[in-house]
Structure 1
Amino acid sequence: MESSAIFPLFYLPPVGYFSVLKEFDDELYIEMHEHFPKQTYRNRASVYSPNGVLDLTVPVIRGAKVHTKITEVKISNEFNWQKLHWKTFESCYRNSAYFEYYEDEFSVFYRKKYSHLFEFNMELLQWLMKQLKKDIDYNFTEEYIKEVGPGLDLRSKWRVNEVIKGADYKPYYQVFDDRQGFKPNLSIVDLLFNQGPQSRSYF
């Protein structure tokens, strides 16, 4: 595992996640022994709304002083967050070129009830890889490894609210870019809904 990268498991990961993923597609691990960190894309995704970038958050049940293993983090279903997320996707992407192309399969994730965040994110990641035609051979970590080789520990990469330079990402058409311009590194669904099957050639 010395030359293998360790990736976090995100909710609808940003585009940059998949750009890096392809660099390690034959030797990567998905972290499943870390403690759940706050303010990350593990339960958050960014989309392009009519008013700009909007973050969608999957609510989780977590004690304030308890370190919870990522695979044990439970989703809070006290209110219908899935309905809220789906309505947001519709308002943001209903007029995109390919929303209807993915709608039937994608909507399943917002009708099915999930109890754990890791399971939900994993099923979404597998679906996303299928849409992007990414046949990636990945494994899961068997323990938490604190020290990882340079450039291989990606668990702290892609922080929420970090400044993203648009020049680092190839622009593509976005539904509202006539209002606020191109927004880089949003959730991969922004790329999918706007570019469809051509998304895989983006990388």
Structure 2
Amino acid sequence: MILSINQPAYLPWLGYFQRIARSDLHVILDHVQFEKNSMVNRNRIRTHDGWCWLTVPVKTRHRFGDLVIHRLTLADDPRWRRKHWDSLRFNYAKAPYFAEHAGFFEASYQRDWQYLIDLNLHLTRYLLDAFAINTPLLRSSQLMVDGEKSQLLLNLCRSCGADRYLSGPFGRDYLDLDAFSDAGIQVEFDDYQHPRYTQIQSRFEPYMSAVDLLFNQGPASLKILLAQIHSEAP
């Protein structure tokens, strides 16, 4: 059984979904500490001039060191919701498939979210469904698994009964591969090569939120998302 593990992300990029698609089970790592300037509460979208950040404001004042992701709450000022919806609407209104998904995103930004994890999972599950990715998700906060860094990931693999762990490329810097091998778990590193596709703007910008692919390519998104895997197939 192939397992992948990643922290929740706001409007995640393509590599996030590709790794889930390659897995039999995906664990949302939501019981670890939130890190400032991570992708947990922000991501990039395409604009007419290039790209911009969309950042969800969260309550962090006097709380660093006690900011477990699944307990992270949103800031009281709700204006970010209008800003994010307007940014999507203004920048993707002419995209071929924006109208097909606009109702969901408009309704999502009208909701009064308390916890960031609920917002992130709401958006991520919609995108998984839109991409026809059916990999089941589990939240680490519900698994009662402890440890830090490499040991935590190994313990999660054991808890889920995985015999293969699909890691991101940065796992090479900290994973204890001998410990995984001793546990009978094969580690594979996912070096995702970002595909090119037609955007409504003239100059291609990679590493945008996956909504960029969805709004521009619609039903062709999954094939583009997994283009690297298809090209490597025998």
TM-score, scaled relative to structure 2: 0.74
Between Structure 1 and Structure 2, the one with more helix by share is 2
Q: CA deviation at 1:40?
A: 1.1
Question: Is the CA contact 2:33–2:65 (under 8 Å) kept in the aligned structure 1?
Answer: no
Q: CA deviation at 1:32?
A: 1.9
The whole-number CA distance in structure 1 between the counterparts of 2:87 and 2:55 is 12
Whether 1:173 aligns to 2:198 is yes
Whether 1:57 aligns to 2:79 is no
Q: CA deviation at 1:120?
A: 0.7
Q: Name 1:198's counterpart in structure 2.
A: 220
SS of the residue corresponding to residue 4 of structure 1 reads: strand
Q: Name 2:76's counterpart in structure 1.
A: 77
Q: CA deviation at 1:67?
A: 2.3
Q: Mind listing any 5+ residue stretches in structure 1 that lack a counterpart?
A: 158-166
Q: Name 2:67's counterpart in structure 1.
A: 68
Q: Name 2:43's counterpart in structure 1.
A: 45
Give the superposed CA RMSD.
2.3
The whole-number CA distance in structure 2 between the counterparts of 1:22 and 1:12 is 16
Identity %, equivalent residues: 26
The whole-number CA distance in structure 2 between the counterparts of 1:193 and 1:112 is 22
> What letter corresponds to residue 208 of structure 2 in structure 1?
L
SS of the residue corresponding to residue 22 of structure 2 reads: helix
Whether 1:111 aligns to 2:110 is yes
SS of the residue corresponding to residue 111 of structure 2 reads: coil
The whole-number CA distance in structure 2 between the counterparts of 1:138 and 1:155 is 21
Aligned length: 189
> What letter corresponds to residue 218 of structure 2 in structure 1?
G
Of structures 1 and 2, the one with the larger relative CO (CA 8 A, separation 6+) is 1
Q: CA deviation at 1:5?
A: 2.4
Q: CA deviation at 1:63?
A: 2.7
> What letter corresponds to residue 186 of structure 1 in structure 2?
M
Question: Is the CA contact 1:12–1:189 (under 8 Å) kept in the aligned structure 2?
Answer: yes
Q: Mind listing any 5+ residue stretches in structure 2 that lack a counterpart?
A: 155-163, 172-191, 227-234
Distance 1:110 1:19, change over 3 A: same
The whole-number CA distance in structure 2 between the counterparts of 1:155 and 1:67 is 28
The whole-number CA distance in structure 2 between the counterparts of 1:189 and 1:57 is 15
Q: CA deviation at 1:169?
A: 2.0
